[in-house]
Amino acid sequence: MNIKNYKPIIEEAYSMTQEGVFKQDEVDVKIIDAIRDTINLLNEGHIRVSEKVGDVWITNEWVKKAILLYFRVKKMKVEEVGPFRFVDKIPLKKWNGTEGVRVVPHALVRKGAYVKSGAVLMPSYVNIGAYVGSGTMVDTWATVGSCAQIGDHVHLSGGVGIGGVLEPIQAAPVIIENHAFIGSRCIIVEGTLIEEGAVIGAGVTITASTKIIDVSGKEATEYKGRVPRNSVVIPGSYQKDFPAGTYGVNCALIIGQRKESTDKKVSLTAALRDFNVSV
């Protein structure tokens, strides 16, 4: 069965869950096979939860539905990894050493996530449906949430939290495009798009409602849910009136742009240094 055949089966099975007529112990073998094979295709990088078509990121909702169905049909199981025991429905990704990925103990990747050859995983966690590109570093205690899309040659610094999303089905995942640098302890959630080459300084939190304010020009320009290409971003705040008084509210400040002419590996840290930003 090819990919085109899986989609209608997954769509129909998911609609059954919404109507309350999906019975886990009576699922047709055709549905089980479609769910399993879809997860295997995700696991091997043949399909993605979200992909860029032209200049637009498209979310493949049926793939997210397959992941949710996978949780429904899988049963809890004890897994042993050396001296450790885990109890879960979703198994860990099995490495055989031919993938070209450096996996440092205790880097954990759930089955159904894809990590491309050339990536480096320090002790970290990558959830189901996520995609991690080639040459990307997922540094110590960084987490890549379900369905998050991380591009090539990205650096996720220590303790970075990339949010995950399975529901609502139509919600876009967090997307970090190629050559972006995410500083230590940043939190990027709720479908935020970090465009190619952006540099996010340490401790920046960006949600769907966070104001992202470009203060590098004569007048401020405000964005939400998107950091433009090659932006250099630091934590900031603005004053907001509340019934009890005026208080500072967190925001993200764009303070300049990386130069296209600068070598990307150098400019990731150099861009921050130029603006006296810590990483």
Q: For residue 189, report the phi and psi dihedrals to the nearest 5 degrees.
A: -140, 180
pLDDT of residue 22: 77
Domain ranges for the chain: 3-77, 91-274
- Name residue 254's beta-bridge partners: 214, 233
The per-residue pLDDT for range 154-183, each reduced to its tens digit, is 999 999 999 999 988 889 999 999 999 999
pLDDT of residue 176: 98
pLDDT of residue 261: 59
All residue ranges of the chain with pLDDT < 50 are none
Q: Which CATH superfamily is domain 91-274 in?
A: Hexapeptide repeat proteins (2.160.10.10)
pLDDT of residue 59: 96
pLDDT of residue 272: 65
Tokens 């939400």 locate to 224
CA 249 from centre of chain:
25
Full-prediction pTM beyond 0.95?
no
* Omega prior to 123 cis, within 30 of 0: no
CA 125 from centre of chain:
11
Integer Cα distance of 156 and 153 in angstroms = 10
| Fold of domain 3-77 | 1.10.166
pLDDT of residue 2: 66
